[in-house]
Amino acid sequence: MDTTTDAAVTTRGLVKRYGANTALHGIDLDIPRGSVFGMIGPNGAGKTTTMRLLLDILRPSAGELRVLGETPRLGGAALRRRIGYLPGELHLATRVKGRELLAHYAEISGPVRPGAVDALADRLGVDLGRPVRSLSKGNKQKIGLIQAFMHEPELLVLDEPTSGLDPLVQQEFHAMLHEAKANGQTVFLSSHVLSEVQQTAHEIAILKQGRIVERSTVAALREDAVRHVRLVVAEADAAAARATLDALPGVSGVAPAGDGPGTVAFSATLDAHVDAFVKAVARLDVVDLTVEEPDLEEMVLAYYGTDLTADADAGDDAEGTTRKGARR
Ligand SMILES: Nc1ncnc2c1ncn2[C@@H]1O[C@H](COP(=O)(O)OP(=O)(O)OP(=O)(O)O)[C@@H](O)[C@H]1O
């Protein structure tokens, strides 16, 4: 397989079948070391399956994968210790206290710096002196996060990490991700929604029905997103403004948006780079200009709605299906 040494995770044509059900139809992933990579997709898209393959909890039906330069099937316990894994479904029904459970995990995952567990517990706000089974869902999730982070692994694989966490704890978790990245660690996380990953992930892949339907940086998504704009010009420039907007490629839905004293306003939808728009209207006597923050979530939901039946009819693409191609 064509791998680069700076990739923490590389997969090529990764396929996973559960009997007659194909969960992954040929996934290609490249996650650079030291990056935060988000995989988002609706229920059943294959996020958990992908992560379990990386951890060698599952074996692929076809395709190749490398994790930290190793083949998971051959990496054994030594490779496992270099990874911190938060499973999507945590089964922590044990009577033992949080501190004892984490001490047990530490024996398996390898050296944990003295004080590291307490520092993480303080940050996330969880009482390690309580029996784990008596903890709320969110507090169990915190125990799961501590066990993933405590040995400062090279790679963090986090399946729906913010599930059950309140907004303040989510903020703390985001800070932990930034620190992990600054520390040179790689993070691979999954979510149903973009909002959970867009603040932290540099790059995202959108997974649907076992196929990657989009791969992009969050910055590129933002650049390509549809924005609503409102332009206010001096009355004398009303006709020129209308003509400019009507003639600009990527601008649609131009409509009057209320007149003020000596001014005329237009609203429009901008489906192009903001730069070209701003330069075109700069010739006018601009009184005010509002460019709304794009709703990326709306864009992602549109991908969720994409009908993949046509792709399936055309036959499986062993290289993985990328609707608009990879963008970086
Ligand atoms: N052990 C299993 N046996 C049979 N089918 C399975 C098994 N695990 C997962 N699947 C199927 O594989 C597909 C992908 O499931 P997976 O759990 O990987 O998706 P997901 O994106 O993590 O979903 P969610 O967001 O709901 O957790 C689904 O169709 C699911 O039903």
Residue 250: inside a domain: yes
Scanning the chain, the segments in alpha helix (DSSP H) are 47-54, 72-81, 98-109, 116-124, 137-149, 167-182, 195-198, 218-224, 238-247, 274-281, 296-304, 309-313
Pocket test for ligand 1, best of 14, 39, 49 (most atoms within 8 A of CB): 49
51 Cα nearest atom in ligand 1:
18
Rg (CA), the chain: 24
- What are the start-end ranges of the E strands in 19-114? 21-32, 36-40, 62-67, 83-86
Q: Distances in Å between the alpha carbon of 150 and those of 31, 94, 135, 166, 277?
A: 22, 20, 20, 21, 48
Same domain, yes or no: 252 and 274: yes
Q: Cα–chain-centroid distance for residue 13?
A: 21
The neighbour count for residue 101, using CB atoms within 10 Å, is 19
Comparison of pLDDT for 154 and 227, the residue scoring more: 154
Interatomic CA distance for residues 31 and 217, integer angstroms: 12
Minimal CA–CA distance to 102: which of 40, 144, 156?
144
Domain carrying residue 14:
7-82+153-222
Residue 324: inside a domain: no
Ligand 1 centre from 328 Cα, in Å? 28
Same domain, yes or no: 77 and 157: yes
Residue 321: inside a domain: no
Own/partner contacts of 308-317, CB < 8 Å, gap of 24 or more, are 308/208, 308/209, 308/211, 308/213, 311/211, 316/25, 316/26, 317/25, 317/26, 317/211
Same domain, yes or no: 212 and 245: no
DSSP SS3 for 9: strand
> Lowest-pLDDT range, 52-66, 87-101, 255-269, 307-321?
307-321
**Is the distance from the beta carbon of residue 18 to the nearest atom of ligand 1 less than 6 Å?**
yes
Same domain, yes or no: 165 and 35: yes
- Which of the listed residues 171, 195, 222 is the one where a domain comes to its end? 222
DSSP SS3 for 148: helix
- Which of the listed residues 198, 222, 246 is the one where a domain comes to its end? 222
Q: How many domains does the chain have?
A: 2
pLDDT in tens, 249-263: 889 999 999 888 999
114: confidence class by pLDDT, cuts 50, 70, 90 = very high
Ligand 1 centre from 261 Cα, in Å? 60
pLDDT in tens, 172-220: 999 999 999 999 999 999 998 787 788 889 899 999 999 999 899 988 8
Confidence at residue 5, expressed as pLDDT on a 0 to 100 scale: 62
DSSP SS3 for 102: helix
Same domain, yes or no: 167 and 273: no
Residue 280: inside a domain: yes
ipTM above 0.90, yes or no: yes
Provide CB contacts within 8 A for 168, sequence distance 6+: none
Same domain, yes or no: 78 and 161: yes
Same domain, yes or no: 17 and 69: yes
Amino acid identity for residue 142 in this structure:
K
Same domain, yes or no: 244 and 213: no
Residue 132: inside a domain: no
CATH label of the domain that carries residue 18: 3.40.50.300
Residue 122: inside a domain: no
Ligand 1 centre from 302 Cα, in Å? 22
307: confidence class by pLDDT, cuts 50, 70, 90 = low
Same domain, yes or no: 215 and 270: no
Ligand 1 centre from 234 Cα, in Å? 58
Amino acid identity for residue 251 in this structure:
V
Residue 60: inside a domain: yes
Same domain, yes or no: 21 and 78: yes
Residue 268: inside a domain: yes
207 Cα nearest atom in ligand 1:
21
CATH label of the domain that carries residue 286: 3.30.70.260
Are β-strands 263-270 and 155-159 bridged in parallel, bridged antiparallel, or unpaired? unpaired
- Which of the listed residues 222, 254, 283 is the one where a domain comes to its end? 222
Which residue(s) pair with 217 in the sheet? Answer: 203
Same domain, yes or no: 57 and 169: yes
Nearest CA owner, ligand 1 atom 9: 49
Same domain, yes or no: 164 and 267: no
Residue with tokens 């892949």: 205
pLDDT > 90 in the chain, percent: 69
Amino acid identity for residue 141 in this structure:
Q
